[in-house]
Amino acid sequence: MIRKATLDDIPAIADLGERFFRQSHYAQFATWDRVSFAETLAVLVRAGTLLVVQHECVVGMGAFLLFPWYFNASQHGAQEIFLFIAPDHRGRDGFRLIEEMERAAKEAGAVAFIAGSTEGMRHEALDRLYLRRGYAPAGNTFIKRF
């Protein structure tokens, strides 16, 4: 089942968030802080869109924000913040989560959905999935630690 997250889901989502962080390359650039991540999750529950994949427990998470499009403020885009499925639940659950995020963004008024993939997180497979779903490459993101 995929559903909107509630504040009660935050501990389970934070557990997934830490798994995501530790598997990604972000750990090279920042440190993990559960309290900060939980605060971000609370904001997403209240003012963004935070979805969870739940079976017997929460096994996936995906979030996006709606924003006025940079080029035309009368239109809105949706930007994925994160997407993570526990490794033993990848496959169909990941596909369904992306599909539900797109549906929710369109329903909220977005004219486009911006999604990315993260180094260290099987990004090549996710890139192929996005291309199969009709996404087009729009640029690259780089990061530098100070």
pLDDT one-digit tens code per residue, 33-85:
999 999 999 999 999 899 999 999 999 999 999 999 989 999 999 999 999 99
Asked if 20 and 84 count as a contact pair (C-beta separation under 8 A), the reply is yes
Strands 58-69 and 72-85: antiparallel
Domain boundaries, the chain: 2-132
In this prediction, residue 69 carries a pLDDT of 92
Tokens of 56: 């017997």
Poorest-pLDDT segment among 7-11, 14-18, 48-52, 90-94:
90-94
Please, which residues have CB within 8 angstroms of residue 9's CB and are 6 or more apart in sequence?
Answer: 45, 52, 58
Residue 118: band (very low, low, confident or very high) from pLDDT cuts 50, 70, 90: confident
Closest by Cα among 66, 64, 73 to 109: 66
DSSP element (H, E) containing 34? helix 34-47
Poorest-pLDDT segment among 26-35, 62-71, 95-104, 121-130:
121-130
What's the mean pLDDT in 80-97? Answer: 90
Q: What is the pTM of this model?
A: 0.89
Q: What is the CATH number of domain 2-132?
A: 3.40.630.30
What's the mean pLDDT in 109-135? Answer: 86
